[in-house]
Structure 1
Amino acid sequence: MNGRVDYLVTEEEINLFRGPSGLGFNIVGGTDQQYVSNDTGIYVSRIKEDGAAAQDGRLQEGDKILSVNGQDLKNLLHQDAVDLFRNAGYAVSLKVQHRVQVQNGPLGHRGEGEPSGIPVAMMLVPLCAVAMAVAWAIMRYRQRL
């Protein structure tokens, strides 16, 4: 394994409706409280159970929020971002960046003679095809008798 971690980054528009406990998540970050090194962005730190975000299910802890109702969150102080969320109204549109870690190699060391880590499903498909071909050949052979 090369020790490098790869990520798949996607963006999504999420529309939430403010509930009794607000939007149902906490944020961290900002120009005055960087959550990620060399990044002043605003991140989701916690999804509140049974809140609007949890009920919607798409927003995840660790997601970066790029904009709120079309307003960019770049270069904001943390408190300014909090105020923006508080004053966003009942229907709130979030542009969110999801970052998912991608596995780029075997999970651990493999010794000689151990399985290669090929998923079972990848082996089952050709085996099923061979089994079906054999069954078909046997049925055709029996029909000729």
Structure 2
Amino acid sequence: MATQTAAERREDARQRYNAYVATCPSRKLLDTLSDKWVSLALTALAGGPLRYSELARTIAGVSQKMLTQTLRTMERDGLVSRAVTPSVPVRVDYRLTPLGEDLMPLLEAIKRWAEIHMEDVEAAREAYDRCSDSEP
């Protein structure tokens, strides 16, 4: 098998991983990353490792079942690591992996954009709803 240049490897990956193709594995990853609990958990962990209970307190509204499921998904995808310290009670800490840290500038930018532009979005929603209500 011939050795590929870096540019050839990138082109192969670009063709192999096309999220517009229904069977592309990157589509599943995009589904995961677009989940609100995943985004909130990742940005919460950007400040450093947190215990499960600290994450639960930080992310308002997340149920225990959903937080557990979210953390397992992120661990499976290599975005977070889980460290268990045997003690009474057992201590479980979560932290971003290098892969998760690489994602943070993007997620933090999206979170910041949402916080800055929420009033604009709410105004657009209200204007849309007014127009929709007046249509026959």
**TM-score, reference length from structure 1:** 0.23
Bigger fraction of residues in helix: 2
More relative contact order, 1 or 2 (CA 8 Å, 6+ apart): 1
Indicate the structure with greater strand content.
Answer: 1
Task: Report the TM-score, using the length of structure 2 for normalisation.
Answer: 0.24
Question: Computing the radius of gyration over CA atoms, which structure comes out larger, 1 or 2?
Answer: 1
